[in-house]
Amino acid sequence: MEKEKTVEEIRRILDMQEEILQFSHFTNEDATALGNFMLQEAVKKDLNIAISIRRTNGLVVYQALREGTNLDNIAWMNRKFNTVLRTEVSSLSWFMRLKENDQTMADKFMDENVYACCGGGFPVRVEEAGVVGIILVSGLNHVQDHDFIVKSLSKYLHMDEVPRISRSDVQ
């Protein structure tokens, strides 16, 4: 049985994911191609999830809602978007940072009606340019939402050695 990871180890893995899963460019056409790729992955795995890819200015470039999703998924994605936009890290990384420092959203003046402290939001980073967009998924456990994004990005970008965490790693 694998040893349980510490909060610090999980944070290092999340940081590595964001470092590795960067783009050389990211256009609206790239967002559509990535979104369609993610949708096909969801169909293959029969996952009833919502997927959204947005620019940092809030423009929704791609959105797909599988059967079984609803307005709650949109609300979750909106809150995850706000979290990634403000912090410029994945929403799961933010969750782990707060946990690591024994802090709450309120400690950071983040209203839980506006921000979400859970996985499922991932920054789109372009090398040399920074965060230009945000990938959002809702419909699974929040760690699974995050992992779906990471697995999809890894395949899409042809990156085989991306470290991952599992649902059991995050308490």
Both tokens assigned to 80 = 């995850």
Task: State the helix-helix crossing angle for 91-100 and 142-156, rounded to 10 degrees.
Answer: 130
- pTM score: 0.95
C-alpha radius of gyration, the chain, whole number: 15
Alpha-carbon distances of 152 from 44, 45, 115, 130, 158, rounded to whole Å: 12, 12, 24, 20, 10
- For CA atoms 2, 14, 9, 49, the dihedral sign is negative
How many residues appear in the chain?
171
Token pair 């990938």 in the structure block, residue: 135
Q: In whole angstroms, what is the distance from residue 52 CA to residue 78 CA?
A: 10
Per-residue pLDDT reduced to its tens digit, 10-44? 999 999 999 999 999 999 999 999 999 999 999 99
- Residue 104's pLDDT band (cuts 50, 70, 90): very high
Per-residue pLDDT reduced to its tens digit, 155-165? 999 998 899 98
For range 84-103, the mean pLDDT:
96
Q: In whole angstroms, what is the distance from residue 72 CA to residue 103 CA?
A: 26
What is the rounded average pLDDT for all residues in the chain? 95
pLDDT score at 170: 83
pLDDT score at 3: 62
Per-position DSSP letters for 32-93, written without gaps between them: HHHHHHHHHHHHHTT---EEEEEETTS-EEEEEE-TT--HHHHHHHHHHHHHHHHHSS-HHH
Domains of the chain: 7-159 (3.30.450.150)
Q: Is the pLDDT of residue 2 over 60?
A: no
Q: Report the relative pairing of strands 50-55 and 121-126 from DSSP bridges.
A: unpaired
